[in-house]
Copies of this chain bind each other. A is one copy, B any other.
Amino acid sequence: MLELYHYEPSANSMKPMLCLKEKGLEFVSHYIDLHSFEQHSPEFVRVNPNGQVPALIHDGAIITESTVINEYLEDVFPAVRLRPADPVARAHMRIWSKFVDEYFCPALSMLGWNLLVPGIVERLKKGEFDKLLERIPLKEQRDKWRTAATHSFTEEQLADSRRKVTVSIERMEKILEKSRWLAGAEYSLADVNSYSIVAAVPRLVPEAMNEQVAPRSREWLARMNERPAVKAALAMARQPMPGSGNANR
């Protein structure tokens, strides 16, 4: 049996949700409400000690890290293939996914947190946020919540993140000049892993992805939005999703 702990079909949660839908795999969905800090609850920390979604349980084994979950699904359920057969294309798939994890996503994430977290925290009663902070397992996550909640990302940090998102889309444009998908001629995990991140760019850094500077990335996003698996994953949304593929149509 497959069980997925996830939030909305956005950011890192979307990566395995889309992969599961592409592969046509049934799974038990456990919705973890990040706005209610359920990811840091004792119940969920028993599943993932880092207190982060997504997390996959397969026949009792717990797999974390969205990029690794998708490689795992590929290892165990290869019938619908999302890793290119050609090993060089497969390397390109991993180089791009690594770039998304280490550079593109953290930059976009800072902008998203800066926009959304203050509103989430304002809804809490006085003193409640400090208690919630205390139970966050990772120091880095604790620091990020505190910084975002107090609007303390500096203008310099935010500008640097916008620059990095622009660099990321430029790199994507160069790849798409040569090939239809991000790891070559075949649709692959490089595309699956990028969808939710790229889909958020038009709202968070519009100047990085307008028709003039990023026509190929926009076409790629439009092609992604038409995929039945993307539509099926987005249909699992509980809340309206600004910045997702839905909002771009």
Contact = CB atoms under 8 A, between A and B. Distances in A.
A63 B88 CA distance: 8
A240 interface: no
A38 interface: no
A194 interface: no
Interface string A26-70: 000000000000000000000000000000001001011101110
Interface stretch (A7-15, A95-103, A120-128, A200-208): A95-103
Contacts of A63: 88, 91, 95
Contact of A95 (B58, B64, B88): B64
Contacts of A69: 91
A94 interface: yes
Interface centre among A68, A69, A90 (most CB of B within 10 A): A68
A71 B88 CA distance: 11
A76 interface: yes
Contacts of A64: 95
A2 to B, nearest CB: 13
A187 B63 CA distance: 20
Contacts of A87: 72, 75-76
Interface of A: 58, 61, 63-65, 67-69, 71-72, 75-76, 87-88, 90-91, 94-95, 98, 101-102
